[in-house]
Amino acid sequence: MNRLTWIRPLHLLLVTAAIAVLYGASLRNGFVWDDHQIIVANPLLADIRALPRLLLSEDTFPGLTTGYYRPLTYLSFLLDRTIWGDRAMGFTLTNILLHLLISIGLYRLVRLLCNDDRPALFAALIFAAHPVAAEAVNFHAGGRNTLLCTLFMTQAFISHLQERRTRAALCFALALLSKEFALLLPLVLLLHDRLGIGKRPPLRTYLPFGLLAAAYLLLRSLVVSGSLLRELQGTKALTIMPEILATYLVNFIVPLNLKTIYTVSGSALGISLLLLSFVAGGVFLLRRDPLILFAAGMGLLFLLPVLNIVPIGTANLADRHAYPALLAFSLALAWLLHRYGKSFSPWLLALLILCYGVIGLERGGIWRSDLTLYTRMIADAPDRGIGYQNLGMYYYNSGDSEQALRYLDECYRRQEYTPESLFALAAISFEAGDHRKAGAVLKKLNATFPGNPQAHVILGRIHEAAGDARAAGAEFAMAREIFPDIDRMLEERAGQLCREGEQLLATGDHRGAGQKFRSALLLKPDFVPALLDRGILLAGDGKTGEALALFLRAITLAPDSQAAHYNASLIYRDRGELAAADRELALSRRLSGK
């Protein structure tokens, strides 16, 4: 039997087993962070009939335009949603399978580059197990685009080496539709071909890539409102680029300090430049090895877009951004082990994979839930507000006002917040009777994020409670100036909150449901459905006195509310006030026509 007939399937089985062991536990993870807005609450993913619209939609986030066009990523989410519904396990399984396919693709790619199965296995195992990959695999909304793009870029590279031009062009097109990052691939192919590693194809070979890139940019310009490059960072980038690049290199080489949120200030410029000089010196010493030169060049090309030359949002440094460059690191390390450590390389590789696996399993557990992720964010970046904000909003939406207030206060002190977190902090303070603090937060909200009519409405409520009718009227007038139909908007928003609370109540989440009902009443204190919902919740929790007060207020506002009379009758009967119970029950039956 030919040795290759069994050795290559065995290699692929080893890679598959490594990924199954390292990521099997991730199947228990839920949706976290941006998953809720981009996947769970995205109306475009609710129905397969939305496919045509999805293919011509900008990659958006609620209230923001991103400037990205990634239709294939959203198509994959639509397919997952169609198959799995709202079960996060299915989305995680897709990400794990994509990571496996990329690892197998890297195996094939390195085998073609080196004409040897041994470094191919080394590279595939390093890439499959490296903990830097854990974020891209475990974070659905943040990692899926990178996984798809990397998969198709790898396949395009393989097809290019095999001189399968049509297939290479098709894979490149699919990579572009997954993430604009694929625009770098032609440069990577050109670098490979000009270093003399394999055949040097004529320049016309790259023409299809250029035409496809132009077509993609044209299509993108028709769909997306913003510029691809947006605003350059200028001199600020020069101070933080070395630190970002050095951090990525350290995380590749010694992945012991990986974080969910990194703090980059440029203060470590000297140390970063020294480290980069050592790495550059190592590459220079090995300059006669074209594979090392190619791996270094490919890694640098794949890191250039994420060095914050162009602002990339809150996560100016993130493990998922380094996922494509991990291909280059895996190739370089595998080749060094193969060429310069033949006698001990298998043992060193086994030790590396073991260490990677221990770290990777811990990284996967971080993404188990919002609670575990946001708690780790605070530990990773205690000086930044994002972790406190996310954890505070988690507790706010869960109905735990005490914990929400604690973390939102910390976020407020760090001056790093969103309109939602400021509004939540103001709402909790208002409910707790701290009108002074609520007013100060709302004024900050109006100054930082002007144009929020709800903020003016709550400020009006605060002035009403203080007996300042004139100031209250001024705030309500400003709310109507921003949104003339403010009353209808508040009623619709209160109704939506009630529906969300009723869904939570049906699942047994009384705390979360209570928060929704309180938020509805904060926006519209005379909203009868919210009064009834909160009354029913309080009655179920044994707080019959508070519940009865809400039902009686609902009766005052809507005397013909059959549900208000019926629920009041139940409370009266429970308290032994039978005459009142019979009276309310009779009114309820009369209103219902019975």
Domain total in the chain: 3
Residue 422 backbone dihedrals phi, psi, to 5 degrees: -65, -45
Task: Select, from the ranges 274-288, 365-379, 394-408, 495-509, the one with the highest average predicted confidence (pLDDT).
Answer: 365-379
**Mean pLDDT calculated for residue range 360-374:** 95
pLDDT in tens, 417-446: 888 889 889 888 888 888 899 899 989 988
- Of 364, 359, 119, 130, nearest to 253 (Cα)? 130
Tokens, residue 237: 């980038």
- Over pLDDT 70: what percentage of the chain? 94
**Mean pLDDT calculated for residue range 392-412:** 89
Are 322 and 231 in a shared domain? yes
Q: What is the pLDDT of residue 403?
A: 92
Are 281 and 302 in a shared domain? yes
Are 8 and 100 in a shared domain? yes
- Over pLDDT 90: what percentage of the chain? 51
Q: Which residues of 246-281 are buried (b: 16+ CB within 10 A; e: fewer)?
A: bbbbbbbeebeebbbbbeeeeebbeebeebbeeeee
Give the separation between CA 513 and CA 504, rounded to whole angstroms.
5
Residue 269 lies in a domain: yes
3-state secondary structure of 465: helix
Q: Is the pLDDT of residue 506 over 50?
A: yes
Calculate the average pLDDT of the chain.
88
Q: Is the pLDDT of residue 509 over 90?
A: no
Residue 375 lies in a domain: no
CATH number of the domain enclosing 450:
1.25.40.10
Q: Is the pLDDT of residue 182 over 50?
A: yes
**Mean pLDDT calculated for residue range 579-590:** 90
Q: What is the pLDDT of residue 1?
A: 43
Of the three residues 484, 514, 532, the one that is the final residue of a domain is 484
**Torsion region of 283: left, alpha or beta (phi above 0 gives left; psi -120 to 50 gives alpha):** alpha
Are 331 and 402 in a shared domain? no
- Report which of residues 6 and 591 the model is more confident about: 591
Residue 516 lies in a domain: yes
Residue 189 lies in a domain: yes
Are 477 and 494 in a shared domain? no
3-state secondary structure of 347: helix
Q: Which residues of 401-422 are buried (b: 16+ CB within 10 A; e: fewer)?
A: beebbebbbbbbeeebbbbbbb
Give the separation between CA 162 and CA 160, rounded to whole angstroms.
5
- Of 496, 578, 576, 502, nearest to 540 (Cα)? 502
pLDDT category at 297 given cuts 50, 70, 90 is very high
3-state secondary structure of 65: strand
Are 251 and 346 in a shared domain? yes
8 A C-beta contact, residue 200 and residue 176: no
Strands (E), 20-68: 59-61, 64-68
Q: What is the pLDDT of residue 68?
A: 83
pLDDT in tens, 324-353: 999 999 999 999 998 887 777 888 899 999
pLDDT in tens, 190-236: 999 988 777 788 888 899 999 999 999 998 888 876 665 554 444 45
pLDDT category at 529 given cuts 50, 70, 90 is very high
**Those residues with Cβ within 8 angstroms of residue 83's Cβ, 6 or more apart along the chain or in another chain:** 90
End-to-end CA distance of the chain: 86
Give the separation between CA 477 and CA 460, rounded to whole angstroms.
9
Are 478 and 498 in a shared domain? no
Are 361 and 425 in a shared domain? no
Are 301 and 325 in a shared domain? yes
Residue 340 backbone dihedrals phi, psi, to 5 degrees: -115, 0
3-state secondary structure of 58: coil
User: Can you give the residue range of the structural domain that contains 79?
Assistant: 4-366
Q: What is the pLDDT of residue 314?
A: 56
Residue 373 lies in a domain: no
pLDDT category at 308 given cuts 50, 70, 90 is confident
- Of 503, 501, 550, nearest to 525 (Cα)? 550
Residue 291 lies in a domain: yes
The residues pairing with 64 across neighbouring beta strands, listed in sequence order, are 61
Helix (H) or strand (E) holding 262, with range, is: none
Residue 377 lies in a domain: no
Of the three residues 484, 502, 520, the one that is the final residue of a domain is 484
Q: Is the pLDDT of residue 88 over 80?
A: yes
Helix (H) or strand (E) holding 388, with range, is: helix 386-398
Are 434 and 543 in a shared domain? no
Residue 374 lies in a domain: no
Q: What is the pLDDT of residue 232?
A: 45
Are 440 and 558 in a shared domain? no
DSSP state letters, 175-228: HHHH-GGGGGHHHHHHHHHHTTSS----GGGGHHHHHHHHHHHHHHHHH-SS-S
Centre a 10 Å sphere on the Cβ of residue 21 and count the other Cβ atoms it contains: 13
Give the separation between CA 234 and CA 254, rounded to whole angstroms.
30
**Mean pLDDT calculated for residue range 384-407:** 90
Give the separation between CA 76 and CA 44, rounded to whole angstroms.
12
- Of 259, 264, 250, nearest to 359 (Cα)? 259
Q: What is the pLDDT of residue 234?
A: 47
**Mean pLDDT calculated for residue range 361-365:** 94
Range with lowest mean pLDDT among 242-251, 304-313, 377-386: 304-313
pLDDT in tens, 228-242: 555 444 445 567 888
Of the three residues 450, 484, 518, the one that is the final residue of a domain is 484
8 A C-beta contact, residue 531 and residue 524: no
Are 407 and 509 in a shared domain? no
Q: Is the pLDDT of residue 395 over 50?
A: yes
